[in-house]
A and B are shown apart, each in its own frame.
Chain A
Amino acid sequence: MRVSGNADRFLRQAGRALGVMRSVLREIFDESAYARFLERNKVESSRAAYAGFLRECEGIRARRTRCC
C-alpha cells in the first residue's frame, strides 16, 4: 500500500513537473502569448490571426535584448 502511495505521489509530481516544463517552453516560444492574443481578440488561429499577432508583437520582440 505504502509503495503504491509513494508511486502515486511520484507520478503526480512528475506530471506536475512536466506540465510546468511545457508551460515554460510555451512561454519562451511565444505560444502562450499567441494563445492570449487569440483569447483577447476572440478569434480562431489562422494565417490572418497569426499575422495580426506578429504585427502586434513586432515592436516588443524587435526591442527584446538578448544577452551576451
Chain B
Amino acid sequence: MPKPVRALVWAGVAVLGALAVATIAFHRGEQINAMWLVIAAACSYALGYRFYSKFVAAKVLALDALRATPAERLENGRDFVRTNKWVVFGHHFAAIAGPGPLVGPVLAAQFGYLPGTVWILAGAVFAGCVQDFVILLFSVRRDGKSLTEMARDEIGKVGGFVAYLAVLSIIVILLGAVALIVVNALKSSPWATFTIAMTIPIAFLMGVYLRYLRPGKVLESSVLGFGLVLAAIFGGQWVAQEAELARYFTFSAPTLALMIIAYGFAASALPVWLLLAPRDYLSTFVKLGTIALLAVGIVAVRPLLHMPALTRFIDGTGPVFAGNVFPFAFITIACGAISGFHSLIASGTTPKLIARETQTRMVGYGAMAAESLVAIMATIAACVLQPGVYFAINSPAGIVGQAPEAAASTIRSWGFTVTAAEMSQLAHAVGEQTLFNRTGGAPAFAVGMASIFSDSLGGQVVMAIWYHFAIMFEALFILTILDAGTRVGRFMVQDALGHIWKPIGRTSWYPSIVATSALIAGAWGCFVWQGVRDPLGGINSLWPLFGISNQLLATVALCVATTIIIKMGRGRYAAVTLAPLLWLVTVTFTASYHKIWDANPRIGFLAHATQLAASGSSGGATARLIFNDRLDAGVTFALVVMVAVILVESALEWSRVWSGRQAAEVREAAFVTTRFAKEQG
C-alpha cells in the first residue's frame, strides 16, 4: 500500500477511535450502543500496536531479528521449540485468558460503564501490553528465565526472595478469591452444581480415552468432552426439575466451599494425566469457543447499554464492593488492563517457543490487547442488564436484605427500577430459584451473556440453557485454575522447603505431595471459608485483596523491567515502564491503605474488626470474623512491605547505575547470530 494511503487509513482509524471514545465519555442520560465500546477498543489497540509498541520495540528494546532465541539455541523438542508466531500467539493467549477479565469488569460496572472502559483501554495500551511485551523479551534474552530468577539476577538476592514470596502469596489469594466465585455461582443451584460435578467424571473419561483408547488424540477427546458437557447442561435441567434428585445437588455455600477445597487438594495430589491435563484441555476448548461466540453475539445483536456512564456509587458507597472509584476501579479490573500474573506466563512457557526476537511484539503486546478486548466484552455483558437487575444480583444480603421485596425496595431507593416479581420472572427464565444476592460477578455475567446469546440464537426459550452454559464455562475455567494453581503452589513450596529438608523437595515422594498439597489447599481454603462466612458476601474483601496482590505483582514485574532498561543504557526511555510503575504504586498503595486503615467498616479491615468488637456480640462466629479482618489486614500489609522492599532495592540499583558507581551491565545470554536470518517474520 502506498505511504500516503497508509497514512490516510491510520488517520481514519484515529478519527473513528476518537469519535467512539468521545461518545462513550460524553453521553449522559441516554443509552448508547455497545458497538461504541467495541469500536473504541479495536481502534485503541490497533493504534497502540502500530505506533506505541513499534516505538518500544525500536527505541527502547532494540529488537534484533538476527539474534538467536533460546528456542533455536537450546532446541530440545520438549520445552524449547521454534514455533510459528501465530501458533505462539494462540498458545500465549490461551494461557493468559482466565476468568479475571470476565469477573473484574462485571464488578467494576457498579461505577457505570465509563470508569472501567477507560481503565481497560488506557491500562492495556500503556501498561498491560507493555509489561507483557518487555517481560517476554527480557525472558527470551535470558534463556527463558522466570520473573523471580530475573529479579534475583538484576535487582538482587533480597528482590528475588521477596518476588518468590509475592508470587506464592498472590497464588494463594487468587485461588481463594476465584473459589469463592464458584461457590457463589453454585450455591442453591442444583442445575449448575450437577453440570459442574459432571465435568469431573468427564475429565476422568477423557484422561482414560487419551491414555488407553486413542493415545494422543487430544482435540478429538476435547470435542467428545465438550459434547458430554453439553449433555450435562441439558441433564442438569432435568435434575433441577426432579425434586428428589435436585435435593442431592443443592448445597449451601459452606458445604460447597468444603467440597471445592477437597477437590483442590485431590486434584493436586492425583496424576496429571488423569484429571489436570484433560480438564485443562476441556476448559481451553470451551474458553476459546465461548469467547469467539460472545464476540460474534455482541456484533450480531449490537445491544444497548442500560447501565449509565457513571452511577452514584463512584463516591465509594457501592453495594457490590465498598470504595471510591479511585483507587478501587483500578484494582478491581486487573487482567483486562494490567495483570501481574501475565508476567509469570510471559516468563514461563512462551519465551521458550519464540522463533524470532521481533515476534515478541506481536505475541506479548498483541495477545494482551486481545485479552483486553475480552474484558470489554465482559463490561458489555454486565452493562446490557437493567441497572436494577444488575444490583439485585450483585448486592449481598447484608446490604439489601434477604427477602426479595426488601431487597428490591432498597435498590429502588437508590434510583434503579426493579421489582421482586421481575426478578422472580428472570430467575425462572434462567432456571434458578432466585437471582437475589448472587454476588461474585459470575451470575451477573452469565445473565448478561445469556441475554445476548438468546437474542441472537434461540430466543427466550433457551435463555436457561445459555445461562447455565455461561455458568459452566466460568466454573470450568475457575476449577482448572484451582487445580493447576494448587499444584504450582505445591511445587513452589516443595522447592523452597527442599533446601531445608531434602526429602520434602522430592516432587515424587508421596508424603511430601500430600503434606504440601494440604498446605496450599488449606491456605486458600482459609480465604474461601472466611468468604462464605462473611455477611457482606466475601467478595467485598477478597476481590480487592486479590486485585491489590495482582497489581503488586505487576509492580514487581515493572521494577524488573525498568531496572533492565536502565542497565541496558536506555534510561532516557525508562518512562515506558516507569510511568505505569508509578501509577500502579499510587493505586495499590492507596488501595492498601484504605483496605487496612479506612475508618469506614465496609472498607477498612481494622475498622470492621473494631466495629464487630464494639457490637457486644460475643461467641465463636464474631471472634472468627474479627480474626479474619485482622488476617486480611496483616496479609495486605505484608504484601505492601514486600513490594516496598523491591521498590527500594530497585531504586538503589537505578541510582548506582545513573551515578556511575556501578557499570550498566545486564545479565543476558551471549549474542549468537541466528541460522534463520533469511526467514520472513
Query: Which A residues fall within an 8 A CB radius of B?
Result: 20, 23-34, 36-37, 39-40, 45-47, 49-51, 53-54, 56-68
**What B residues does A57 contact at CB under 8 A?**
78
Name B233-284 residues within 8 Å CB distance of A.
Answer: 271-273, 276-277, 280-281, 284
Which residues of B sit under 8 angstroms from A34, Cβ to Cβ?
216, 218
Given A29-B219, A54-B273, residue A66 in contact with residue B90 (CB < 8 A): no
Chain B residue at smallest Cβ distance from A53: B216
Q: Which residues of A contact B507 (CB under 8 A)?
A: 59
Return chain B residues, CB-CB under 8 Å to A39.
77
User: Which A residues lie within 8 Å of B271 (CB)?
Assistant: 58
Which residues on B sit within 8 Å (CB–CB) of A64? 95, 348-349, 484, 488
Please name all residues of chain A whose beta carbon is closer than 8 Å to the beta carbon of B485 when the two chains form the complex: 65-66
| CB neighbors of A among B197-237 (8 A) | 210-212, 215-219, 222
| B160 CB → nearest A CB, Å | 18
Chain B residues within an 8 Å CB radius of A46: 215
| Contact flags B20-57 to A (C-beta < 8 A → 1, else 0) | 00000000000000000000000000000000000000
Which of B222, B285, B339 contacts A68 (CB under 8 A)?
B339
Q: Is B529 an interface residue (CB 8 A)?
A: no
A11 CB → nearest B CB, Å: 19
Are B95 and A50 closer than 8 Å at their CB atoms?
Answer: no
User: Given A24-B90, A45-B215, A67-B98, A36–B349 Cβ distance below 8 Å?
Assistant: no
At the interface, yes or no: B187 with Cβ under 8 Å from chain A?
A: no
* Residues A47 and B276 in contact, CB atoms below 8 Å apart: no
- Closest CB pairs A-B (n = 4): A50-B215, A24-B90, A29-B218, A68-B100
Q: When the two chains form their complex, are residues A47 and B86 in contact, meaning their CB atoms are under 8 A apart?
A: no
A62, B550: Cβ atoms under 8 Å? no
Give the chain B neighbours of A29 by CB distance below 8 A.
218-219, 222, 281, 284-285
Contact of A27 among B83, B210, B277, B288 (CB under 8 A): B83
Which chain A residue shows the least CB distance to B492? A63
Question: Cβ of B142 < 8 Å from any Cβ of A?
Answer: no
CB pair B341–A67 under 8 Å, yes or no, is yes
Query: In the bound complex, how far is the Cα of B211 from the Cα of A23, in angstroms?
Result: 22
Q: Does B480 contact A (CB under 8 A)?
A: yes
- Could you list 10 examples of A-B contacts with CB < 8 Å? A20-B84, A23-B84, A29-B285, A31-B216, A62-B488, A64-B95, A65-B345, A66-B98, A67-B342, A68-B174
A-B contact sample (11 more), CB < 8 A, given A68-B100, A68-B334:
A20-B86, A29-B218, A29-B222, A29-B284, A29-B285, A37-B77, A37-B78, A61-B276, A65-B484, A68-B178, A68-B550
- B83–A61 contact, CB under 8 A? no
Contact A67 B81 (CB under 8 A): no
- Contact flag A62-B276 (CB < 8 Å), given A29-B284, A50-B216: yes
Name the interface residues of B469-515: CB closer than 8 Å to any CB of A: 480-481, 484-485, 487-488, 491, 507
Chain A residues contacting B89 (CB-CB under 8 Å) are: 24
A57 to B280, CA, bound (A): 14
Q: Using Cβ atoms and an 8 Å threshold, which residues of chain A touch B178?
A: 68
Interface range on chain B: under 10, 10 to 19, 20 to 34, or 35 or more? 35 or more
Q: Which of B219, B348, B481 has the most C-beta atoms of chain A within 10 angstroms of its own C-beta? A: B219
Chain A residue numbers with a CB within 8 Å of B281 are 29-30
Choose one: A24, A27, A36, A51; the contact of B77 (CB below 8 Å). A36
Interface presence of B566 (CB below 8 A): no
Whether B216 and A66, one on each chain, are in contact in the complex, defined by CB atoms closer than 8 angstroms, is no
Interchain CB contact under 8 A, A24 and B91: yes
Of the candidates A54, A60, A63, A67, which one forms a contact with B78 in the assembled complex, judged by CB atoms under 8 Å apart? A60
CB-CB nearest in chain B for A58: B272
Minimum Cβ distance to chain A for residue B511 (Å)? 18
B216 touches A62 (CB 8 A): no
Is B86 a contact of A23 with CB atoms below 8 Å?
Answer: yes
> Complex formed: what's the CA distance from A27 to B89 in Å?
11
